[in-house]
């Protein structure tokens, strides 16, 4: 059993960022995904784990991150643009408020599937075999599907099959017990 201290929930790979728990600590250890995707930054642990997944299944050109770390300014822009283009209802389901976005930690990423000359993104990845593999196996590399289907009342966001979150060693525990990060936090002893 893993016992967490209260301060561990606000730092490191286990940081809980959502509408109630906003970003409080400075972000460190960001690296570029690779030479080809220099616009994508991730936490170094998340980056290493993502490369392991892609190398092990030989999918570097088929499964690629399209969004990783975001600055506060980038998140503000994404949120405000979504409000204007999609309205409040959609935005509240899919776009985090500034300082309430996991992307600001560098531990979260959105991916797309390149197949048949097309980039499948967001809900277009849902039925792809590559996405199903990622959903069933990414926990072995420290990732979880952060906003799983059927858990919208807990995460407060709609199902996002394209959104991975690096949590490290607890990923398999979360996956095997069908938990969200919020549920995991509530189940574990936090002192």
103 with 30: CB under 8 angstroms? Answer: no
Burial 81-91 (b: 16+ CB within 10 A, else e): ebeeeeeeeeb
Q: How many helices (H) and strands (E) does the chain have?
A: 6, 7
CB 24 within 8 A of CB 102: no
Q: Which helix (H) or strand (E) holds 172?
A: helix 171-176
Q: Which of 160, 182, 183, 188 is catalytic?
A: 160
Whether 149 sits among the annotated catalytic residues: the reply is no
CA 38 – CA 182 distance, rounded (Å): 32
98 CB contacts (<8 Å, ≥6 apart)? 72, 75, 76, 79, 104
Which residues, in sequence order, are CB contacts of 91 under 8 Å at separation 6+? Answer: 79, 82, 83
Contact, 107 vs 67, CB < 8 A? Answer: no
Question: Which residues form the catalytic set?
Answer: 160
């Amino acid at each position: 059993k893993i016992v967490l201290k209260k301060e561990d929930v606000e730092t490191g790979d286990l940081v809980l960022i959502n509408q109630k728990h906003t970003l409080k600590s400075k972000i460190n250890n960001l690296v570029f995904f690779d030479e080809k995707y220099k616009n994508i930054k991730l936490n170094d642990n998340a980056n290493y784990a993502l490369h392991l997944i892609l190398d092990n299944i030989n999918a570097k050109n088929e499964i690629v991150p399209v969004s990783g770390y975001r600055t506060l300014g980038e998140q503000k822009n994404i949120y405000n643009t979504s409000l204007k283009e999609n309205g409040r209802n959609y935005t509240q389901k899919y776009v985090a408020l500034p300082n309430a976005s996991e992307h600001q930690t560098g531990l979260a990423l959105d991916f797309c599937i390149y197949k048949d000359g097309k980039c499948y993104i967001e809900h277009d990845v849902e039925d792809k075999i590559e996405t199903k593999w990622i959903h069933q196996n990414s926990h072995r590399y420290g990732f979880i599907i952060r906003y799983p289907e059927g858990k919208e009342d807990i995460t407060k966001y709609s199902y996002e099959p394209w959104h991975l979150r690096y949590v490290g060693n607890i990923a398999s525990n979360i996956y095997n017990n069908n938990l969200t990060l919020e549920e995991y936090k509530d189940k574990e002893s936090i002192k």
